Structure 1
Amino acid sequence: MRTVSVIGFDGALASAITGIIDLFRLAGVTWARINGEAPEPHFATRLLTRDGAPCRCINGLTILPDGAWNDRSPAQSNADLVIIPTIGGPIEPVLSQNPELIAWLGGFQSSGTGQVQVASNCTGAFMLAEAGLLNGRQATTHWGFSNQFRQRYPAVDLHPDKLVTVDNHIACAGGGMAWWDLGIYLVERFAGAQVARELAKAFVIDVGRTSQAPYSAMQARRYHSDAAILKLQDWLDRHFSGAVTLAGLALLSGLTERSLIRRFKAATGDTPTGYLQVLRIEAARQQLEYSRMAVEEVTRRVGYEDVSSFSRLFRKHTGLAPGAYRARFGR
């Protein structure tokens, strides 16, 4: 039987703690009960906190732990898997309040077996990154905090569009309820595909999700101080649906095209053309969510003429065709 240790701390998201514990504890159990068979549990779980003290979660619930993480080193922890749940409170204060936990996590170096040893859900990835575990590795976190993550941890290969990433011994899950997807994935890695499929069926979990893109919204990308680029962004916000050319943007900004591309990329992380596409896709998402306007009309209103080209671009950014996006998110 595998041992899973979930780490509790003040300000954590309670559901990301109790939910992942439920999944592991009931793998091989709930499905067996549904079918009148003898349960065959595959995991033992522990909630660990500093010194074994209760953790007060962001919703006000206080959860009693099973023990302390700081009474032994990572190598002596006797855990097959350690999971960091979502930081539910303000991220930077929570990080500053847990220096010992971050130092302890830094001791989880790869054993070379390729088996996942440490995992995080949502903003829990900030804990792993703060410990240096994600440097040079692929990771994901909640899409809404991806800019903050990139600024703080530039050495991490962040993929905020992905729902789950795995790089050697570290797994990360995206935002919100992605602990479902992380849990099912890890159950499959440790207990096999059949146990994972049965668990997903028992909990009525859709295991086909792979991307956060359909749920994300455009972020401002205005955390820079380049006045010329900020002015250009303001203009694009008002005129994105019209005819926009790189030459025209260069003229408006007073920069050469080459300097514009370089400074725009440095300021926003994207090219002017890529930024314009994101603006248009975000406007199209709003129309698809809140209106019954035909896709052809939405296409025209956001600045495109060819519906098939727009649909391909929309799918690239959101993971869904326009019609499928409206079916899922339309009001």
Structure 2
Amino acid sequence: MQTVSVIGFDGALASAVTGIIDLFRLAGVTWARIYDDEPHYYFKTRLLTENGKPCKCINGLTLLSDGAWNDPSSIIGNDLVIIPTIGAPIETVLADNPALIAWLGQARHSDAGTVSVASNCTGAFFLAEAGLLDGREATTHWGFSQKFRERYPGVRLDPERLVTVDGPVACAGGGMAWWDLGVYLVERFAGAQVARELAKAFVIDAGRTSQAPYGALQARRYHSDGAILELQDWLDGHFHQVITMQEMANRAGLTERSLMRRFKAATGETPVSYLQILRIENARELLESSRETVEGVVQRVGYEDVSSFSRLFRKHTGLAPGAYRARFGR
């Protein structure tokens, strides 16, 4: 039986703590109960905190622990350690938990292909702060991706991915991505059949791979380059027009080469890719809030070829325009 140790701390997101414990505890159990079969328990779960004290979550709930992560006898060699979402201000929580960060940094995790430590959402900040993500691929909540990049430039962050796995470390994206992380880890430790049954029993869409449909362009404005911010403001009102690199450079008062360098440094995107994303973002808003045809939406955001825009839209959101409207339309 695999032991899963979820690490609790003040300011954690309660659902990310209790939810993933529920998933592991009920893997092989709920499905069996539905069909009147004998349950099989694959996982033992524990909530561990510093010194075994209760942890007060961001919603005010206080959770009792099963032990202390800083007790040398608590963590055994093959434990799966999971860091849940930071619900309180990230910098405050990190500053309040130096011992946990040091403990994570001292942990030795095998590169043999077995995941031994995982995080959900902003819990990735703990792993990065401890140095466990240096040089590795990771993901976190899309809304905090720019803050993460600035703080941990040595991490290969992919905020569009819902779950990343690099050696012994797994990360999940947005707040409720613990569903996806949990199902993935159940598959790794208990097999694909158990994971499929768990997803069906909990009515979880196990096919999700991207958090791009939930992301926001606003995250790419968290920088201090005034010329680029002014250009972004201008693009907000003119994205539906034909816009060349030369025109963008002139608007920013830069050469094309300087524009390319500074725009990429400020936003993480090239000017052309940013313009594409801006058009996609506005198409998303129209698909969510209006009944305009897909063809009409495509034309309003500056494209003529519906099929080429649909391919671009799917590339960035993981969904075709019609499927996006079906899921998110109001």
TM-score range relative to shorter protein: over 0.9
Q: Deviations over 1:46-77 (max 9, x none)?
A: 10000000000000000000010111178x53
Following TM superposition, by how much is the alpha carbon of 1:33 offset from its aligned partner in structure 2, in angstroms? 1.5
Change (3 A) 1:73 1:160: farther
Structure 2 alignment gaps of length 5 or more? none
The equivalent residue for 2:72 is: 72
Following TM superposition, by how much is the alpha carbon of 1:258 offset from its aligned partner in structure 2, in angstroms? 1.4
Displaced runs of 4 or more, over 4 A: none
Q: Deviations over 1:191-250 (max 9, x none)?
A: 111111111121121111111111112124233222222221111111111121111112
The equivalent residue for 2:119 is: 120
Aligned 1:279-298 pairs, distance under 5 A? 279-298=278-297
Structure 1 alignment gaps of length 5 or more? none
1: CA distance, partners of 2:214 / 2:231: 27
2: CA distance, partners of 1:113 / 1:225: 42
Structure 2 counterpart of 1:38, which letter? Answer: E
The equivalent residue for 2:264 is: 265
* Secondary structure, counterpart of 1:166 in structure 2: strand
Aligned 1:169-184 pairs, distance under 5 A? 169-184=168-183
2: CA distance, partners of 1:227 / 1:179: 38
* Secondary structure, counterpart of 2:58 in structure 1: coil
The equivalent residue for 1:20 is: 20
Aligned length: 330
Change (3 A) 1:281 1:135: same
Following TM superposition, by how much is the alpha carbon of 1:78 offset from its aligned partner in structure 2, in angstroms? 4.8
2: CA distance, partners of 1:240 / 1:86: 36
**Residue 83 in structure 1 maps to residue 91 in structure 2:** no
The equivalent residue for 1:228 is: 227
Structure 2 counterpart of 1:248, which letter? Answer: E
For the 8 Å contact 2:54–2:64, the answer to whether it is kept is yes
**Residue 155 in structure 1 maps to residue 157 in structure 2:** no
Structure 1 counterpart of 2:60, which letter? Answer: G
For the 8 Å contact 2:7–2:83, the answer to whether it is kept is yes
Q: Deviations over 1:146-177 (max 9, x none)?
A: 11111111110111111111000000111121
TM-score, normalized by length of structure 2? Answer: 0.97
1: CA distance, partners of 2:152 / 2:133: 9
The Cα RMSD (Å) is 1.3
2: CA distance, partners of 1:259 / 1:215: 31
The equivalent residue for 1:219 is: 218
The equivalent residue for 2:131 is: 132
The equivalent residue for 1:197 is: 196
The equivalent residue for 2:41 is: 41
* Secondary structure, counterpart of 2:119 in structure 1: strand
The equivalent residue for 1:146 is: 145
2: CA distance, partners of 1:111 / 1:252: 51
The equivalent residue for 1:321 is: 320
